[in-house]
């Protein structure tokens, strides 16, 4: 990519960040997931900085994890850290493929098994998909 195109892209990203920073996750994928949940799922956004969840869908607290899609669902996961465990009712995993297409999986956390890791629990996409297809 030529330098002038990189500079234009940088300026666009700075403006996007400035527009998002007070209300949304400042990580680009995090902000995409939160906006997607509002637009596509009718999520009511929690105030920025609320610990453990990002908003409400159908009155339930939702923690959103946004990731780039990987080819093997068995290795894709969303992790919830111990310090916020139990604060959300549901896990919303938003994935973006290489073309920018977004898909999501919403699952109640009390129905997911998860795997303990140092400092948190990993919920694997294969399990979340299985729960969404039942």
How far the first Cα of the chain sits from its last, in Å, is 45
Domain residues for the domain of 74 are 3-132
pLDDT at 4: 92
Per-residue pLDDT tens for 12-69?
A: 988 998 888 888 887 888 999 999 999 999 999 999 889 999 999 999 999 999 988 8
Q: Indicate if the pLDDT at residue 114 is higher than 80.
A: yes
Q: Are strands 44-45 and 55-57 parallel, antiparallel or unpaired?
A: antiparallel
pTM: 0.84
The confidence score (pLDDT) of residue 68 equals: 85
Please give the pLDDT value at position 98: 86
Q: Supply the CATH number for residue 50's domain.
A: 3.40.210
Contacts with 99 (C-beta within 8 Å, 6 or more apart), sequence order: none
Domain tally, the chain: 1
Pick the more confident residue, 52 or 73.
Answer: 52
> What local confidence, expressed as pLDDT, does residue 134 receive?
52
């Amino acid at each position: 990519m030529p330098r002038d195109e990189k500079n234009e892209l940088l300026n666009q990203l700075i403006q996007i960040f400035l527009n998002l920073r007070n209300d949304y996750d400042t990580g680009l994928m995090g902000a995409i997931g939160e906006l997607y949940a509002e637009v596509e799922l009718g999520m009511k956004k929690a105030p920025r900085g609320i610990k453990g969840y990002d908003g409400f869908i159908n009155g339930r607290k939702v923690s959103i994890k946004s990731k780039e899609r990987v080819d093997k669902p068995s290795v894709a996961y969303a992790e919830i850290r111990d310090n916020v465990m139990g604060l959300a009712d549901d896990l919303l995993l938003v994935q973006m493929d290489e073309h920018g297409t977004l898909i999501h999986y919403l699952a109640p956390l009390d129905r997911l098994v998860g795997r303990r890791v140092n400092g948190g629990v990993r919920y694997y996409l294969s399990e979340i998909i299985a729960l969404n297809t039942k």
